[in-house]
Each structure stands twice: as structure tokens, then as C-alpha cells.
Structure 1
């Protein structure tokens, strides 16, 4: 067996072990990802406006972040399009997709 084959098997075993850990614990994994995303977004304008630092669980998120359409998010998107950082997500988007919707004209999607 070649060194390349041995290394590939070791790597595959590690990846499988890591994957099985989250596959066998989906709720724990989702909570971990949720907390990570909330923590990452806490210092953005959107995160500050919605008190992300106080969000500990999904029900907190539901209570603090209302569902809304593009028009209700347009002010945040416009700030990002203008080049401001840390608006909807840390940093600045690299690209924006421009769509031409039938309901409200051009829309920019970070």
C-alpha cells in the first residue's frame, strides 16, 4: 500500500468520525451552529439593532428578530451597497446580485 493511500485512509477516517459526531447529535450540532452564528452577527448593525448579545436560544431569536420582506431590510442592504462594513454580516460583501423583481424594481442581494 502506498504512502498516499495510507494518508488518504487516515484522512477519510477522521472526516467520517467528525461527520458521524454531528450526524448522531443533530440537535446539539444545530444549537452549536446557531450560537456561533448569533455570536458572529452580534457586532453587526443588524445584530446590535436586534440585541443579538442577549439571544441565548431560538425562542429569543424569534421574539427579537421579526420576519420581514426585502423592503423592510432595504435600509440595511443599501448601507452595505454603499460600502459600509458590518451591516448584515461581519465585513463587506464581495459581490451583490442585482435582481429585477416585478413588485419593487431592482433589488441587491449581498
Structure 2
């Protein structure tokens, strides 16, 4: 693994350590320990993430927001989705049946 691929992986590293058991994260973290430049980049990246998390913690959410969101989702699910143009329905059905190949994640990481 090179530094560019490690950065790509580490950009999505969760601060609670939930990714530590993933072999890609473990390899990228090990590289950050051995490579000073990558380690310093990771420290800066983690500090930015922590600052963003602190900023989010300061936001006061309106009372009842959770319930409002859940009600909006429930209201949206009350009836079938209508497609005025038959082609819209065909496209939505086709897109809904698409699945990413199982090996896509590894291929993307290798390509990085």
C-alpha cells in the first residue's frame, strides 16, 4: 500500500476506533506509524475531524425534530410513488435492481 491509497482509506476512519479491525484500515494505520509524513497528515486530519465534531455538538436542534423527520418519512411512504411518464417507472425499476459487484470495493482500492 502506498501513501495515496492509505490517505484514501484513512479519510473515512471513524474516531471511535470502529474501523480498527478492518484489514485495510489496519494496514493504512501501520503505514502511518512508519511514515512520518503520512502520520503527520493523519494527525492533522483527525484534528480537523475533531473540530468538526465539536462544532456539530454546539448546534442546538429544535425540539421535536426527530419526530418531525420520522413523520415526514411515514407520510412519504403512505402511497405508491407515481410516475406520470411510463419511461420514468421503467428507469426507476431498472435503477432499483442494480447492485454493485461484490469485488468493486477491492478493485477501487487497488486502482488508487
Normalising by the smaller structure, the TM-score range is 0.3 to 0.5
**Which of the two has higher C-alpha Rg?**
2
Instruction: Pick 1 or 2: higher relative contact order, CA cutoff 8 A, min separation 6.
Output: 2
**Higher normalized helix content (fraction of residues):** 2
**Higher normalized strand content (fraction of residues):** 1
Report the TM-score, using the length of structure 2 for normalisation: 0.32
